[in-house]
Structure 1
Amino acid sequence: MSSAASQAYARTAQRIASPRDIEAQALLKAARQLQDVMTNWDQTDAGFVEALMFNRKLWSIFVTDALRDENPEQISIRQNIANIGIFVMTQSAALQLKPEVERLQTLIDINRNIAAGLSGRAT
């Protein structure tokens, strides 16, 4: 596919994708980045900090949105999102201080499971 065609497709997809689809895709992107770090752990640490920062920023957005009074979701759902987000951001910060490959899997699983729920797929 040509570059112009792929860009046009991406613009169209963004216009017709629901907010849940966009959130799911962002979570899957973060999971892929973390998985790449985990897969290539012994080869290089390139991308490790970037993957963790992307994940933390993404979850920061989710937590901020969950805490907004204007958020139409039920308070219990918003609290669950905030709690998961705080856990993810805390774990990401801890991993930056003390990198452990085994702990990455938890973050990957959370992102994939939430993405599946947003997409209406069971995991």
Structure 2
Amino acid sequence: MYQFSYAEIMEEGVAVSKDRERQVLERSIALLKAAMTSNGGNQSRQAIEAIYFTRRVWLRFIEDLGDPENQLEAELRANLISIAIWILKEVEKIRKRESSNFQGIIDITTIIKDGIK
């Protein structure tokens, strides 16, 4: 039987969490790309699915980033919350047919995903 230190177990837990975060962001990006190329525009099934999935992801990130037990630096957390708020505003504009800025959301989400290490 293997013996693991608490630090090793905690590090593995963090790695798994980061991997999940990357996977969720990859899913959001895939949905946004499908929505961007769909025939129905902002009101297509793909767009609606992408909008609501992306919205849920970023609302959850804001919730996590606002948690006092989040171990990221305060400035980084604040910057990520600002980015999340921008994405939520863009998603809402798309939902209201005021924008079709899927690519902007894809670009920012990709940068965030690639920054998760």
TM-score (structure 1 length as normaliser): 0.76
Partner of 2:3: none
Matches within 5 A, 1:40-79: 40-41=38-39, 45-79=44-78
In structure 2, stretches of 5+ residues that fail to align are 1-12
Paired residues in the alignment total: 104
Q: CA deviation at 1:23?
A: 0.4
Aligned counterpart in structure 2 of residue 32 of structure 1, from 26, 30, 33: 30
Root mean square deviation of aligned Cα: 2.1
Residues in 1 aligned to 2:17 and 2:32: alpha-carbon distance in whole angstroms: 23
Q: Deviations over 1:81-118 (max 9, x none)?
A: 110111111110111001543x1100111111111111
Partner of 1:96: 95
Code of the residue aligned with 2:17 in structure 1: it is P
Q: CA deviation at 1:42?
A: 5.2
Tell me: CA distance 1:96–1:42, structure 2 relative to 1, closer, same or farther (3 Å).
closer
User: Which of structures 1 and 2 has the larger relative contact order (alpha carbons within 8 angstroms, sep 6+)?
Assistant: 1
TM-score (structure 2 length as normaliser): 0.80
> Is 1:106 matched with 2:104?
yes
Residues in 2 aligned to 1:100 and 1:62: alpha-carbon distance in whole angstroms: 23
- Contact 2:38 2:46 survives alignment (8 Å): no
In structure 1, stretches of 5+ residues that fail to align are 1-14
Matches within 5 A, 1:15-26: 18-26=16-24
Give the % identical residues: 26
Q: 3-state DSSP class of the match of 1:18?
A: helix
